[in-house]
Chains A and B, each alone.
Chain A
Amino acid sequence: MSERRPMVDPFAVPAAGPDSAALDPAAADPSALACPAPIPERARVLLGHGSGGQLSAALMREVIGPALAAAAPGGPLNDAAVVEVAGQRLAFTTDSFVVSPLEFPGGDIGELAVNGTVNDLAMMGAQPVALSLAYVIEEGLPIEDLRKVTESVARAAGRAGVQIVTGDTKVVGRGAADGIFVNTAGIGLVAPGVSVGADRAAVGDAVILSGAIGLHGIAIMSVREGLDFEVEIASDTQPLHGLVAAIVAACPEVRVLRDPTRGGLASALNEIAAASGVGIELREETIPIPGPVHAACEMLGLDPLHVANEGKLVAIVPASSAEAVLAAMRAVPEGAGAVEIGRVVADHPAMVTMRTIVGSQRVVDMLVGEQLPRIC
């Protein structure tokens, strides 16, 4: 269970006019009176709550988690849950996709919806078995767009070797959905002997990245209203269960698998470090960043480590298996660019650091809220 996108898009143009009464900046807000920093962000869900960084984690920890407590099994949440059913370990996940625009260089929301859920299953070491597909469609969406998205879903499912076995369709009034919201849920079978989880990283382990980062986020940004730049890159959205199978074959004791989606590589590694109670040390020069991603980040003032990816994974494995895992990954197309980018250490638990070009160590922080382009 994880949301893939914020509920409010910083680049969105509001469809309806604002309610002026609600906007008075000095309007009394109950939480504002109580807290020393009278900014009412706490009273409403913000776009930042969906961006995969600290605000998202806070929303889970302070609101959703406590409210669910009695009904949920407890423990750290991974990309998918593993439940035992009649002696089999079944991975189960759900994800909602709201991306605007619906189509972007390298893919569309349909493809994203299939690959995202397949990958959440894969990150638990599971082979996907079946997906459900639910639509919430905004009134007025061209039928042609609906057909295109659905055909994309079918193509992506075929490529991933999964079937869409059930679904649902709802339509809501104009303005209530950004064209279309897509939810997919998926089940998969966890390979025997595999036990991955965010809390399993151990001191000394090697941190491996499957390829270049930043492609998806920059591809999306390039077609966002107000930014619009040409870039020769496309979203890297792709199913990763084949890559995971290769990793598991080379090293069944693989400890952590994580796809660094929203919030980027930095947020994913921070989550792992915190869940496992270990530190992670990276080396800046080993992290592969394609030229155009680097350029776009420079132009917009973004950190590539915070940019979303949709076709990459991080694998944390015992150091002794690193060579074998790298070889296995590089033998499949989705892992051709696999490199070791760092190590798990005992120092500074729950913190991720990186060695900079002048030789100092800097802390790599989680994304705070929504990534905003800057001029300064």
Chain B
Amino acid sequence: MCLGIPGKVVEIRDDGPLRMARVDFGGVRKEACLAYVPEVVLGDYVIVHVGFAISQLDEEEAMKTLEMLRAIDAEGVAMELGSMGDDSTAGPPAAPPPQLPGAV
């Protein structure tokens, strides 16, 4: 369920009964209803599902997630070496990319 994609609010129209916006999704612009994200302003990113913004995208959290992912390797190595005690011959933990069963 739930094709919800992130887009940037580039225009807001408060004239009708519902607060509507023009949202830019990487070069495609479509109308979306902002009724459920009243705190959103021009320039904010929202997640849009069937023409409604259902959530404001938290850009800080987005960056944090990516940073955490980038940090994984270093953390993995540190943990591995730490848990090995003083076995100084422990090498980097990364296994080669797995052979995929059923890969064609």
Contact = CB atoms under 8 A, between A and B. Distances in A.
A348 interface: yes
A299 B28 contact: yes
B95 interface: no
- Specify which of B28, B29, B50 lies most central, judged by the most chain A CB atoms within 10 Å of its CB: B28
A358 to B, nearest CB: 9
Contacts of A228: 30
B103 A361 contact: yes
B63 interface: no
B2 A299 contact: no
Contacts of B28: 222, 229-231, 292, 295-296, 299
Interface string A351-376: 10100000111010000000000111
B50 to A, nearest CB: 5
Given A301-B3, A376-B2, A376-B3, A292 B103 contact: no
Contacts of A232: 27
Interface of B is mostly: loop
A375 B26 contact: no
Contacts of A290: 27
A121 B5 CA distance: 41
A225 interface: no
Contacts of A295: 5, 25-28
A230 B50 CA distance: 16
A292 B5 contact: no
A295 to B, nearest CB: 4
15 contacts: A231-B27, A233-B27, A291-B26, A294-B26, A295-B28, A296-B28, A298-B3, A299-B30, A301-B3, A347-B104, A348-B104, A359-B97, A359-B100, A375-B3, A376-B2
A279 to B, nearest CB: 8
B19 interface: no
Interface in A312-352: 347-348, 351
B29 to A, nearest CB: 4
B32 to A, nearest CB: 10
A299 B29 contact: no
Nearest to A363: B104
B79 to A, nearest CB: 23
Size class of the A contact interface (CB-based, 8 Å): 20 to 34
Top-9 shortest CB links A-B: A292-B27, A295-B26, A230-B29, A229-B30, A361-B104, A295-B28, A295-B25, A296-B28, A231-B28
A304 to B, nearest CB: 13
A161 B104 CA distance: 46
Interface of A: 222, 228-233, 290-292, 294-296, 298-299, 301, 347-348, 351, 353, 359-361, 363, 374-376
A239 to B, nearest CB: 27
Nearest to B30: A229
A295 B29 CA distance: 9
Contacts of A361: 100, 103-104
B97 to A, nearest CB: 6
B46 to A, nearest CB: 13
B30 A230 contact: yes
A222 B25 CA distance: 14
Interface string B78-93: 0000000000000000
A376 B49 CA distance: 9
Contacts of A348: 104
A374 B2 CA distance: 9
- Specify which of B97, B100, B104 lies most central, judged by the most chain A CB atoms within 10 Å of its CB: B104
Nearest to A292: B27
Contact of B50 (A291, A359, A363, A375): A375
Contacts of A294: 26
Interface string B1-30: 111010000000000000000000111111
Nearest to B6: A298
A222 B29 CA distance: 10
Given A291-B26, A375-B49, A375-B50, A298 B5 contact: yes
Given A353-B104, A360-B103, A291 B27 contact: yes
